[in-house]
């Protein structure tokens, strides 16, 4: 093989033309006013930083740059603050809620926990404002070391800059994972092809190179550019290297860095260690600390001569591995010394949290003063929403606390914070520290509760539910209100686990909660809710129905949207569904969405929106349901909330989407593996709807038979009628009859129009002869007086099918035509097709009209466009709509241009006059 010439100085990166072109396209789009995001992935040394730096010299684009730092992964918003500091002059132009959220996040004022989405919208607004004068490119290197809060916020922004003059470019090391960036466009960097690798190698080694040595270097480096540049420094060019793959590339590169650092003077090495420990790169602070360490300015020269660090306005290491090597290789005594110097170099009021952290790293043993400072830092971090940072501070405080009782309390607090931050395993280790403290019944009960919650997080199992019950029992004699709350948690957990929870366990929990710990007087709504659920478990739905109705009424009548926790409202919604109270169901779901939006409790939004979407489906408002499902799934993806696929599949099933069966089976397997029984039931219900819509009744029966037999709370109003239709139409009437009897008893316990409609329709399905005619008519009449427009249409379909088979052809045509029109307008295409087949059998010619997205008028709008159109039609401004949907005003305006074009209108006023239903 002939060696290729070395690249000329200033030429393109060797072997990265395609990758450079991808970055250039991002910048070109940015110049044209179209924002975007790109995540560059690759192993250490593969050239991510060099590729990013290739766009840092563009002339007409403003660059903001930040690098994640390994030692700051637990300091909330640290990287984001550093990135945004140059554009904080636009802070005053933000809306007040956004200013408050960002002030709290950045520690500039404000109280409480900053809402992540408002903070994200604030950062989006800040960057958008800064881009009005010049396009803005945010470059984030070493994104794997971003603190979680910064990563989430930047990912939020990255998904919403399409209509801004803002672009974000991330580099992340593999195999590290930054889940928050998942789903963004990616560019993967692999090793250089051999010709390019050889060219890069020749640029470093000018002397003749033995073929065997050259081949070993190329083989061991595997095309890694940093390895190609660094390995020749330490290699015996005449003798070769160790066996291929004996050491990872990063290990070889680190070894090269070590060899270059080994001969440096002691003062220089200490200065480098201080620079590695001072993660912000603040050169003023570094030199103040150096003075306290007795290090002079001449110590910097040998360090810079290695090419591994540059001292200037900011201190920059050539590669993050350099920082890691310096810090890890330093003696513990030296590390403590530099942290102590850095803490002393910081003023008391200057970044108290970072100063407390340095003091903690400098401590040689227990130190009550430092531990107290760390506890204060934890409180500030939690107030800013930095749960991971709070956990880190509390863990450090635990280690430095001399008093055993105080140490145990801090260990428990740290464990709670670790669990909230998603570090369940570390939380369990801290719980062991708490358990080793002096005996304390309250701490023991709180520890048991935390262990149970972690167990449920890690495996939604019967054993985890049993642990929650045990924790509630421990708490009873200490705090009865807290014990009842834990019992409700245990019952909710048992309901969620569903078929995977042993019946005796659920009954035991209910018995314990009701008989051993009666509700106080006066009872809280949550106490009555617990009593209603325990009665349902112990004595059945019929006995529990009056109390459940009372509880639902209490929750509906409460005017304060924020009076109840999301978990309470979820259980109240389930009770309303079992009671066939569709108005209460919608009221509670709508209130929970409003509450989540107004308070910024975004974590509750996906479940709240999913329940609201289910009420939309019930009412035949598939467009609203689509918008709510899309938002629920998008937010769930943003915050990492699982399980939202079930509502997507439910909507797809009602639409008759041909992908439903495959998607449902895949989701069902995942729910089974995770032990989420309730999701399995929801998915089986969706499968039954889909198969019934296609006339595949035997498959529908098989899909919902397990859940029908389980008879889980929250599904009494939906699963039975799918089961009855599937059983009757597949020739298994004997299976349907007992189900109709049970259903009739339950609908009689709380007679609503929805309840009556479902009962009458199911009785009609099993009726023989003319009796069915009156039952179908009565069912339609009841549904027309409920919110269940979809069920009105579907019952007309069933009635029309019965009329055709009974020989009443004209009446059949009338009902089937009306059913077909209603189902088509709603978007229930599977059932509409079933109606069309029946009409064809009667000799009717049926025109297929498009429904949902892609149709005429409002139907041509996407789910998000439809949602924006509805909000703007109420008179909301772009700023107000953007704040509600977590989008920038400019993005709303861009969507409006598309909406106007599709609807063939030119103004917001015209939008208000349109009937926005499809």
Provide the domain limits for residue 897: 862-912
- Between CA 541 and CA 103 the distance in angstroms is 50
> What is the distance, to the nearest Å, from the Cα of residue 479 to the centroid of all Cα atoms in its chain?
33
Tell me, yes or no, whether 24 and 51 share the same domain: yes
**Angle made by CA atoms 505, 577, 487, in degrees to the nearest 5:** 30
Q: Which of 276, 250, 258 is nearest to 361 (CA)?
A: 276
- Between CA 458 and CA 430 the distance in angstroms is 17
Last residue of one domain, picked from the residues 240, 262, 284 = 262
Dihedral class, residue 731 (left if φ above 0, else alpha if ψ from -120 to 50, else beta): left
- Which runs of consecutive H residues, i.e. helices, occur in 828-904? 829-841, 863-873, 878-885, 889-903
Q: Is residue 1 part of a domain?
A: no
Tell me, yes or no, whether 331 and 353 share the same domain: yes
Q: Is residue 2 part of a domain?
A: no
- Between CA 277 and CA 288 the distance in angstroms is 14
Can you give the pLDDT at residue 571? 85
Strand 186-188 with 36-42, pairing: parallel
Q: Is residue 648 part of a domain?
A: no
Grouping H, G, I as helix, E, B as strand and the rest as coil, residue 38 is: strand
Which domain CATH number covers 96?
3.40.50.300
Can you give the pLDDT at residue 639? 57
Q: Is residue 421 part of a domain?
A: yes
- Between CA 474 and CA 679 the distance in angstroms is 30
Q: Is residue 594 part of a domain?
A: no
> What is the distance, to the nearest Å, from the Cα of residue 136 to the centroid of all Cα atoms in its chain?
27
- Between CA 275 and CA 316 the distance in angstroms is 9
Tell me, yes or no, whether 225 and 174 share the same domain: no
* Alpha-carbon separation of residue 511 from 312, 665, 711 (angstroms): 70, 36, 20
- pTM of this structure: 0.62
- Between CA 647 and CA 651 the distance in angstroms is 6
Phi and psi angles of residue 169, each rounded to the nearest 5 degrees, phi first: -125, 120
Tell me, yes or no, whether 428 and 281 share the same domain: yes
Q: Is residue 649 part of a domain?
A: no
- Between CA 466 and CA 461 the distance in angstroms is 9
* Alpha-carbon separation of residue 556 from 577, 616, 714, 758, 895 (angstroms): 13, 18, 17, 23, 35
For residues 674 and 460, the answer to whether their CB atoms sit within 8 Å is: yes
Tell me, yes or no, whether 688 and 739 share the same domain: yes
Blockwise average pLDDT, block size 10, the chain, 918 residues: 32 74 90 91 83 81 86 77 89 84 78 72 90 92 86 88 91 76 84 78 59 60 71 46 45 76 91 88 90 94 88 78 84 94 83 86 92 88 70 90 95 87 81 93 94 80 84 90 86 78 71 74 86 87 93 87 72 92 92 70 74 92 85 71 81 92 88 83 94 95 91 88 96 95 94 96 92 95 94 96 94 94 92 94 74 46 76 79 71 79 76 66
Q: Which of 457, 472, 479, 564 is nearest to 511 (CA)?
A: 472
* Alpha-carbon separation of residue 232 from 214, 215, 240, 889 (angstroms): 10, 12, 10, 54
Can you give the pLDDT at residue 478? 92
> What is the distance, to the nearest Å, from the Cα of residue 704 to the centroid of all Cα atoms in its chain?
30
Non-local (6+) Cβ contacts of 216 within 8 A are 240, 241, 244
* Alpha-carbon separation of residue 339 from 294, 301, 519, 614, 896 (angstroms): 14, 22, 54, 56, 54
Can you give the pLDDT at residue 908? 79
Number of helices (H), then strands (E), belonging to the chain: the values are: 45, 7
* Alpha-carbon separation of residue 858 from 829, 890, 918 (angstroms): 17, 22, 6
Grouping H, G, I as helix, E, B as strand and the rest as coil, residue 461 is: coil
- Between CA 359 and CA 352 the distance in angstroms is 10
For residues 44 and 249, the answer to whether their CB atoms sit within 8 Å is: yes
- Between CA 106 and CA 867 the distance in angstroms is 32
Q: Which of 748, 750, 814 is nearest to 776 (CA)?
A: 814
Last residue of one domain, picked from the residues 695, 715, 750 = 750
Q: What is the DSSP string of 183-228?
A: TS-EEE--PPPHHHHHHHHHHH--S---HHHHHHHHHHHTT-HHHH
> What is the distance, to the nearest Å, from the Cα of residue 459 to the centroid of all Cα atoms in its chain?
19
Phi and psi angles of residue 410, each rounded to the nearest 5 degrees, phi first: -70, -35
Tell me, yes or no, whether 360 and 452 share the same domain: no
- Cross-strand partners of 282: 314
How crowded is residue 402: how many other Cβ atoms within 10 Å of its Cβ?
11
For residues 436 and 408, the answer to whether their CB atoms sit within 8 Å is: yes
Can you give the pLDDT at residue 866? 77
Which domain CATH number covers 571?
1.25.40
Tell me, yes or no, whether 214 and 239 share the same domain: yes
- Cross-strand partners of 37: 168
Long-range CB contacts for residues 898-904, cutoff 8 Å, separation at least 24: 898/865, 899/861, 899/865, 899/868, 899/869, 902/860, 902/861, 902/865, 903/857, 903/858, 903/860, 903/861, 903/869
Tell me, yes or no, whether 66 and 182 share the same domain: yes
For residues 80 and 105, the answer to whether their CB atoms sit within 8 Å is: yes
For residues 886 and 120, the answer to whether their CB atoms sit within 8 Å is: yes
Tell me, yes or no, whether 818 and 846 share the same domain: yes
How crowded is residue 476: how many other Cβ atoms within 10 Å of its Cβ?
18
Number of separate domains in the chain: 7
Q: 240: which DSSP letter?
A: B
Burial of 374 (0-12, 13-18, 19+ CB in 10 A): buried
Q: 236: which DSSP letter?
A: B
Q: Which of 701, 676, 677 is nearest to 688 (CA)?
A: 701
Q: Is residue 446 part of a domain?
A: yes
- Between CA 526 and CA 486 the distance in angstroms is 11
Tell me, yes or no, whether 211 and 270 share the same domain: no
Tell me, yes or no, whether 116 and 257 share the same domain: no
Q: Which of 645, 640, 643 is nearest to 178 (CA)?
A: 640
Last residue of one domain, picked from the residues 551, 581, 611 = 581
**What is the 3 state secondary structure string of 555-588?**
HHHCCCCCCCCHHHHHHHHHHHHHCCCHHHHHHH
For residues 713 and 576, the answer to whether their CB atoms sit within 8 Å is: no
Phi and psi angles of residue 316, each rounded to the nearest 5 degrees, phi first: -125, 130
* Alpha-carbon separation of residue 673 from 461, 713, 816 (angstroms): 11, 22, 42
Q: Is residue 11 part of a domain?
A: no
Which domain CATH number covers 895?
1.10.10.10
- Length of the chain as a residue count: 918
Dihedral class, residue 824 (left if φ above 0, else alpha if ψ from -120 to 50, else beta): alpha
**Angle made by CA atoms 99, 104, 109, in degrees to the nearest 5:** 85
Alpha-carbon radius of gyration of the chain: 32
Tell me, yes or no, whether 497 and 473 share the same domain: yes
Say if residue 672 is preceded by a cis peptide, omega within 30 of 0: no
- Between CA 621 and CA 885 the distance in angstroms is 20
């Amino acid at each position: 093989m002939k060696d290729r010439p070395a690249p000329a100085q200033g030429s393109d990166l060797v072997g990265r033309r395609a990758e450079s072109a991808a970055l250039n396209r991002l910048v070109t789009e940015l110049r044209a006013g179209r924002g975007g995001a790109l995540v560059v992935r690759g192993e250490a040394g593969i050239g991510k930083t060099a590729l990013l730096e290739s766009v840092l010299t563009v002339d007409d684009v403003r660059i903001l740059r930040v690098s994640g730092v390994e030692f700051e992964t637990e300091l909330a918003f640290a990287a984001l603050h550093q990135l945004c500091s140059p554009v904080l002059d636009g802070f005053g132009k933000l809306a007040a809620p956004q200013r408050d959220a960002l002030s709290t996040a950045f520690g500039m004022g404000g109280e409480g926990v900053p809402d992540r989405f408002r903070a994200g919208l604030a950062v989006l607004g800040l960057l958008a404002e800064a881009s009005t004068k010049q396009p803005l490119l945010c470059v984030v290197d070493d994104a794997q070391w971003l603190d979680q809060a910064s990563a989430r916020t930047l990912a939020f922004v990255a998904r919403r800059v399409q209509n801004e003059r803002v672009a974000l470019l991330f580099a992340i090391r593999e195999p590290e994972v930054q889940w928050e960036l998942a789903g963004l466009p990616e560019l993967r960097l692999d090793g250089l092809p051999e010709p390019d690798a050889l060219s890069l190698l020749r640029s470093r080694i000018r002397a003749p190179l033995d073929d065997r040595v050259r081949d070993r270097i190329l083989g061991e480096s595997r095309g890694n550019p940093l390895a190609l540049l660094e390995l020749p420094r330490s290699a015996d060019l005449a003798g070769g290297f160790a066996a291929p793959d004996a050491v990872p590339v990063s290990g070889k590169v680190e070894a090269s860095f070590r060899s270059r650092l080994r001969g440096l003077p002691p003062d220089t090495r200490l200065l480098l260690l201080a620079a590695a420990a001072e993660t912000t790169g603040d050169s003023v602070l570094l030199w103040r600390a150096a003075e306290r360490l007795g290090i002079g300015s001449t110590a910097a020269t040998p360090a810079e001569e290695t090419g591994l660090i540059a001292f200037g306005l900011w201190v920059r290491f050539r590669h993050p591995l350099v920082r890691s090597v310096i810090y890890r290789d330093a003696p513990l005594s030296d590390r403590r010394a530099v942290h102590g110097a850095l803490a002393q170099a910081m003023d008391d009021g200057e970044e108290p949290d970072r100063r407390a952290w340095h003091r903690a790293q400098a401590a040689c043993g227990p130190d009550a003063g430092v531990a107290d400072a760390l506890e204060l830092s934890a409180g500030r971090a939690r107030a800013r929403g930095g749960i991971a940072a709070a956990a880190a501070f509390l863990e450090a405080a635990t280690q430095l606390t001399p008093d055993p009782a105080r140490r145990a309390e801090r260990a428990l607090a740290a464990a709670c914070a670790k669990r909230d931050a998603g570090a369940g395993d570390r939380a369990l280790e801290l719980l062991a520290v708490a358990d080793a403290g002096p005996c304390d019944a309250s701490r023991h009960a709180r520890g048991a509760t935390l262990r149970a919650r972690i167990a449920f997080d890690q495996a939604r199992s019967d054993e985890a539910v049993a642990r929650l019950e045990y924790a509630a029992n421990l708490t009873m004699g200490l705090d009865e209100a807290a014990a009842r709350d834990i019992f409700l948690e245990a019952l909710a957990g048992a309901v969620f686990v569903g078929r995977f929870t042993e019946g005796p366990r659920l009954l035991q929990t209910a018995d314990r909660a009701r008989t051993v710990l009666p509700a106080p007087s006066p009872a809280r709504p949550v106490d009555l809710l617990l009593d209603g659920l325990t009665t349902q478990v112990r004595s059945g739905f019929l006995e529990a129905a009056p109390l459940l109705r009372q509880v639902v009424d209490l929750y509906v009548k409460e005017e304060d949207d924020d009076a109840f926790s999301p978990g309470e409202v979820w259980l109240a919604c389930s009770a309303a569904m079992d009671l066939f109270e569709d108005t209460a169901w919608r009221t509670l779901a709508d209130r929970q969405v409003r509450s989540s939006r107004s308070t910024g409790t975004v974590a509750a939004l996906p479940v709240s929106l999913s329940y609201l979407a289910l009420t939309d489906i019930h009412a035949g408002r598939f467009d609203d349901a689509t918008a709510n499902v899309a938002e629920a799934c998008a937010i769930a993806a943003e915050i990492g909330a699982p399980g939202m696929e079930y509502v997507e599949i439910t909507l797809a099933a009602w639409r008759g989407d041909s992908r439903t069966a495959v998607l449902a089976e895949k989701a069902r397997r995942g729910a089974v593996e995770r032990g989420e029984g309730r999701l399995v039931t929801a998915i089986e219900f969706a499968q039954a709807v889909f198969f019934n819509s296609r006339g595949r009744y035997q498959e529908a029966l098989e899909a919902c038979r397990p859940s029908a037999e389980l008879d889980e709370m929250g599904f009494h109003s939906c699963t039975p009628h799918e089961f009855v239709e599937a059983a009757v139409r597949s020739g298994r009437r004997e299976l349907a009859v007992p189900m109709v009897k049970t259903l009739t008893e339950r609908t009689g316990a709380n007679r609503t129009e929805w309840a009556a409609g479902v009962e009458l329709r199911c009785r009609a399905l099993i009726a023989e002869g003319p009796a069915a005619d009156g039952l179908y008519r009565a069912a339609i009449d009841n549904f027309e007086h409920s919110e269940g427009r979809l069920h009105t249409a579907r019952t007309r379909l069933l009635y029309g099918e019965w009329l055709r088979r009974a020989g009443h052809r004209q009446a059949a045509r009338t009902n089937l035509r009306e059913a077909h029109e209603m189902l088509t307008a709603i978007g229930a295409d599977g059932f509409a097709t079933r109606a069309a087949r029946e009409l064809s059998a009667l000799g009717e010619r049926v025109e297929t009209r498009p429904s949902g997205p892609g149709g005429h008028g409002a139907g041509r709008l996407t789910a998000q466009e439809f949602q924006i159109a509805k909000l703007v039609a109420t008179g909301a401004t772009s700023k107000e709509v953007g704040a509600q949907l977590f989008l920038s005003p400019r993005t709303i305006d861009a969507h409006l241009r598309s909406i106007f074009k599709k609807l063939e209108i030119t103004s917001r006023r015209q939008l208000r006059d349109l009937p926005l239903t499809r």
